Amino acid sequence: MMKNASPYAPVELRCEYLVDFLGIDNPKPRFSWLLDHDEKGQYQTAYQIVVADNTQSVGNDEGNVWDSGRVESDNSAGMVYQGQQLKPCTRYFWKVRWWDKNGQISPYSRVAVFETGLMADDNWQAKWIGDKSRQEVVVPGGDGLNQGKGFTLYMGSLFRKEFVLSKKPVRARAYVSGIGYYEMRINGKKVGDRVLEPGQTDYKKTVLYSTYDIMPYLNNDANAVGIMLGNGRYVKDYGYDFPRLIAQLLIEYEDGSSDVIVTDQTWRTHAAPIRENGIYYGETYDARMEVKGWDEPGLNDEGWEAAEIVSAPGGKLISQAMPPIKVTKSFPAVRLTNPMPGVYIYDFGQNFTGWVRLQVQGSAGTTVKLRFSELLYDDGTLNVNVNRNAQATDTYTLKGEGIEVYEPRFTYHGFRYVEMTGFPGTPSLDTLEGRFLHTAVEPTGGFECSNQLLNNIHRNIIYGQLSNLMSVPTDCPQRDERMGWMGDAQLVAEEAGYNFDMAAFWGKYLDDIKDCQKEDGSVSDVVPAYWPIYPADPAWGTAYISIAWELYRFYGDVTVLERHYDSMKRWVDFLTAHTDESGLVNYYHYGEWCAPGSIPPKNMPWEITSAFFYYHDALMLSQIARLLGKDEDAESYRQLSGNIKDAFNNKFLNAEHGCYSFSSQTCNVLGLQFDIVPEDKEKTVVDVLLRQVIESWDYHFDTGIIGTKYILDTLAKYGYKDVAYKMMTQEDYPSFGYMIREGATTVWERWEKLTNRGMNSHNHIMFGTVDAWFYKDLAGIIPEQPGFKRVTVKPVVPSGLDHASASVKTVRGMVGSQWKRNQDSFHLEVTIPVNVTARVMVPKLDFDDVMVKENDVSVDSQNLSTCCDNEEEYFVFDVGSGVYTFEVERA
């Protein structure tokens, strides 16, 4: 055996998909790790996990709470904890080792950590506190449903408590929630770097709390904790009342004793310098109202009142086990103009989500006003039409003490431009700095190719996707919505799965969907259901099943399917209960949405998308049931899906002409998914679709958000990769290139460039679905088995593209595909991680006689297995882990 050919210690250990996370409430957390080996074709045959509640034990390779022993398994992700019952607020240490295919054992990994949260209601000694008398204001504007009637908000409040530590602590944690939003400070400093906490939920069902390590903030003796509260989504307009908070601080000492500091009526409260604050409205901050030292010990708290114990919001307190929202990047302004006296316009060169940091010096009482938008008028002034009823205005009143720096806390905006008025003196470019914030999911994907336009589209999609992750997947960040529209979310789940680690985010969102489900099985279009729009359009409600399925496909996690199975089933049964004599769902709200020149469906039946997703959901549910061993259900939903398919064809397939529509690309595209079209009609449908794309639309999209997701794959699947490529590289209307030509730095809601008041956000993600095509087709990376256990790498090489490369950091490690085409050769490099196998399909392209090389060594192409897939011939290689090169040369 080679000297180095033994397995390395596992790396990147994760518990609940998070690294060394504090606050795990799941009594059976899931573990995963990545593997490395010098030898090619390696995989795991067994593993051993040890979990201990002390470092000594884990150091001695003893799992005093769980030692899995040697477990024969090739799974390295989503392994469920099976040890002793986990205790709340406890730090656990774990490590793992593995056996390779030769039975060689690896060293143990480094010791990773996870810490449990409070785990159960009984462990909360803290009380919910609030300030009922805090002033209520009605601010102008409103949201997309409560048009223009204003919004009722509570003014910001401060809460504080002093405490003394008599001994030296060894561990200190704070478990905190404050709804709508809160910010916690200890001894004058903000704790941690999370913003807009906690994540949004239906607060009557679930309230998320976070766990903070507060050790670095504590003083030896006198300490103070201060918490600010804002409205967030916890507002009257959504059926809630005034903001409230709960906090429990646990301080542990060397001698094993501990102190617990909890919110109760001994906390004190005061009006905050944050006056108005709302997600849509913006934030009004009066620095003259700051209470110096409010978050430090020793404050003279005259004028402060006792906090009131208030009722709990109703939802179960659950640890927020997903990446928090953070500021991930700062943007300097790229241009400053002065279109009118006293009016300054900042251009950040990029549409994004967040706010700006203001630096200002002037006399007390001076008020600087900042308004945000994605657009300017031709005269260079701010065009706020796109914001609709969202006021999107931050106002800062100076205290007049030297250089003052202000960033808001309880609002966010979607913008590229900022209008500043009221500034004392002449501002400079760096008076404002853009701050990009979103749920800080880990980037896992990368794509690049020889066509710069495609690279730009990819870039815009990345910005659009991140801008729309705000603890829930949102439709847009700028106007009076920013809601968890489920249609948008389900469509982009695949794209997001390629680009980011979405495991924990989608896990939380599926719980949000479960929370919103009614007795009758229906779910809402918008989740959390701040706008309770029941029952969801089937193309929106499918998010429950579609997202769970993507989660399974990308991370191989069956526990999620188990957790939601009964509820997903109730959703499909709800649809079945709402069918008519045709056997199809008898309602819809939106249908195919936002095709060129239209918001509602055009040139097509509205209900075809409802029918399509009813079929899709029944089919997926039958597969999920099969996976979970529920064979009876599997069979009955399989039959149901068969019936729906027949009903779909009866209703929408024109038997005489053999297609689903002469006027809609979407109808034919949908008919070509999931084996809907009868075999003998397949060719005609494809031909009609081609005619629609080429003759009627000159290689442009005539699809809305639903057809767009499927059309490129479909064309490529039937051998029309060049047609798909041509559609994606157009630069005139309607196309992605057109958006970019017109200055888009994110993806638009509509194919049209619109700047009036209405439905025309310039940062919607729902058309971003095409990004998956870059990975799946151009680079050819396809998860063949869940969790990328088996991968197909099958690049689709359109004429005009010389190279493409992509990588995806999967739950099993990095999968890469990188190709280059020259006049006489095609070169492909593939990277497959340990514990993954791959089928690599190397296209023969238009070369007649070829020489094939694998890792620079010629192979006899006669002996290679080939496969022909719609005109394209491929040489097929089955490989295990490792880096491989393949070369096809004209002989």
- Contact (CB, 8 A) for 841 and 865: no
CB of residue 830 to ligand BGC, shortest distance in Å:
37
Closer CB to ligand BGC, 721 or 764, in the complex: 764
CB of residue 483 to ligand BGC, shortest distance in Å:
7
CB of residue 530 to ligand BGC, shortest distance in Å:
13
Is residue 280 close enough to count as binding ligand BGC by CB under 6 A?
no
- Contact (CB, 8 A) for 671 and 609: no
Number of residues that bind ligand BGC (CB under 6 A): 9
Please list every residue from 706 through 735 that binds ligand BGC, using CB under 6 A: none
The structure tokens listed for 702 are 């005539």
Closer CB to ligand BGC, 485 or 613, in the complex: 485
Torsions phi, psi for 831 (to 5 deg): -115, 125
Residues with Cβ within 8 Å of 645's Cβ and at least 6 positions away in sequence, in order, are 615, 675, 676
Closer CB to ligand BGC, 357 or 589, in the complex: 589
Please list every residue from 650 through 709 that binds ligand BGC, using CB under 6 A: none
Distance CA 640, CA 633 (A): 10
CB of residue 641 to ligand BGC, shortest distance in Å:
25
CB of residue 453 to ligand BGC, shortest distance in Å:
25
Strands (E), 10-150: 11-15, 22-24, 30-34, 46-52, 66-67, 71-72, 79-80, 91-99, 112-116, 129-130, 136-139
Closer CB to ligand BGC, 521 or 541, in the complex: 541
Q: Which amino acid would we find at residue 665?
A: Q
Closer CB to ligand BGC, 115 or 617, in the complex: 617
Closer CB to ligand BGC, 149 or 190, in the complex: 149
Mapped onto helix, strand or coil, the DSSP state of residue 300 is coil
- The partner residues of 289 in beta bridges, in order of sequence, read none
CB of residue 609 to ligand BGC, shortest distance in Å:
12
Cα angle 709-811-111, degrees, rounded to a multiple of 5 = 155
CB of residue 557 to ligand BGC, shortest distance in Å:
27
Strands (E), 217-360: 222-230, 244-253, 258-262, 268-271, 274-278, 282-286, 305-306, 308-309, 316-319, 325-332, 335-340, 343-360
CB of residue 331 to ligand BGC, shortest distance in Å:
25
Please list every residue from 753 through 792 that binds ligand BGC, using CB under 6 A: 764, 766
Closer CB to ligand BGC, 230 or 477, in the complex: 477
Residues with Cβ within 8 Å of 860's Cβ and at least 6 positions away in sequence, in order, are none
CB of residue 454 to ligand BGC, shortest distance in Å:
24
CB of residue 144 to ligand BGC, shortest distance in Å:
6
Cis peptide before 528 (omega within 30 of 0): yes
Distances in whole angstroms, Cα of residue 142 to Cα of each of 212, 320, 389, 759, 806: 34, 29, 5, 16, 43
Distances in whole angstroms, Cα of residue 181 to Cα of each of 176, 201, 229: 11, 12, 6
Q: Which amino acid would we find at residue 353?
A: T
Distance CA 789, CA 394 (A): 49
CB of residue 24 to ligand BGC, shortest distance in Å:
33
Closer CB to ligand BGC, 449 or 476, in the complex: 476
Closer CB to ligand BGC, 145 or 859, in the complex: 145
Closer CB to ligand BGC, 523 or 838, in the complex: 523
Closer CB to ligand BGC, 162 or 488, in the complex: 488
Closer CB to ligand BGC, 485 or 498, in the complex: 485
- The partner residues of 85 in beta bridges, in order of sequence, read none
- Residue 574-613 contact track with ligand BGC, rule CB under 6 A, x = bound: ----------------x-----------------------
- Residue 450-489 contact track with ligand BGC, rule CB under 6 A, x = bound: -------------------------xx----x---x-xx-
CB of residue 533 to ligand BGC, shortest distance in Å:
9
Neighbours of 562 (CB within 10 A): 12
- Contact (CB, 8 A) for 308 and 129: yes
The structure tokens listed for 52 are 């201990």
Distance CA 603, CA 696 (A): 13
Q: Which residues bind ligand BGC (CB under 6 A)?
A: 475-476, 481, 485, 487-488, 590, 764, 766
